[in-house]
Amino acid sequence: MSIELRFSDIPPPTPEPPRTIYRDLLDLPDPTKLGVTIRYYNFDSVSLYFQITAACAGYTFGTVNLGALGAGANAYINLDEFGSRAKPASETTETIVFTLKAYTDAGYSNLKWTYERSVDVVWIKSNDPSYTVDVLNNFDDGTVQGWAVSDEFGNQATFPKIAVATDYVLSVPNSCKMTSQRLQTSVGECRSRLYKSFNTPDKNYVYAIINVRTAFYNAAYEKTKYLAIQRDGTTFVFIGRPYDTVLTDYFPQNKWMRIVIPLPRNATIDVRIVLDFYCNTTALGSPANDVFLWIDDFKIISKD
């Protein structure tokens, strides 16, 4: 096969494990949208024009033309609100079939390759009585409730910072806010981490439910590259693309996103939220080049 579609940063020829998307029904709009980050490969000897679509009972999916990709190259793209379906009434599992096509022409008329990949979607309902809420961090006591921040790369001294916030919340009155700031001596990458350690319950099913929102003080000079949700050192969710210096956002700003990841039973783990962005000016300074990440109503739930 001369093209391939993946949902992780594991490169061929290493087999990619089966992929699962976890979603929480609580308070979702109806209909609800689905976004996903994909990575696609061109193993042909010529440039090809790629196209992605998907199919699953009850869904409506778009067809996205991805443009040309050179021979031997690969690329990421975040497909925000790629699919839509009526909100399920109860917990369920479904399978989406993604279809990647490659054409030899910019008009997408001469099809050369087709590649299909299935992804399971597991819907949970976190307010169902069968679940125990083992952790609830809503920051309404006026503290950051044990969360901390760390500079992974490129922050100004004393950044990132963490504080209780009231400007954007999911449940009043408070959320938790991380503020990052790129070094003012040069343009380039900045990467920050918000994290906390937990002891998980001894149950068959354990999930972390993470609600996050990102924004810039000045979006003309800073652009997001990726948001990663990690359990210890393992990335479970990656939204966006690897760092580059293109002045383009690779995942959506100014809206709440809910991310669900499975956790191991009866273990001590770190939940890490990593934000990576590009700043292309040295002329700003605090607070004009601040980048923000909010978290609210973080939960760990479990059941047998």
Q: What are the chain's domains?
A: 3-124 (2.60.40.10), 132-303 (2.60.120.260)
- pLDDT tens-digit series, residues 88-101: 999 999 999 999 99
Region 28-37: mean pLDDT is 96
Torsions phi, psi for 90 (to 5 deg) = -155, 175
> What pTM, to 2 d.p., does this model score?
0.94
Give the pLDDT confidence score for residue 186 in this predicted structure.
87
User: Mean pLDDT for the chain?
Assistant: 96
What mean pLDDT comes out for the span 1-10? 92
Residues 87-125 as b/e (b if ≥16 CB within 10 A, e otherwise) read ebeeeeebebebbbbbbbeeeeeeeebebebebebbbbb
pLDDT bin (cut points 50, 70, 90) of residue 219 is confident
pLDDT bin (cut points 50, 70, 90) of residue 286 is low
Res 200: pLDDT: 98
pLDDT in the model for residue 185: 86
- CA-to-CA distance for 40 and 70, rounded, in angstroms? 11
User: pLDDT-based confidence at 284, cuts 50/70/90?
Assistant: low
Q: How confident is the model at residue 4 (pLDDT cuts 50, 70, 90)?
A: very high
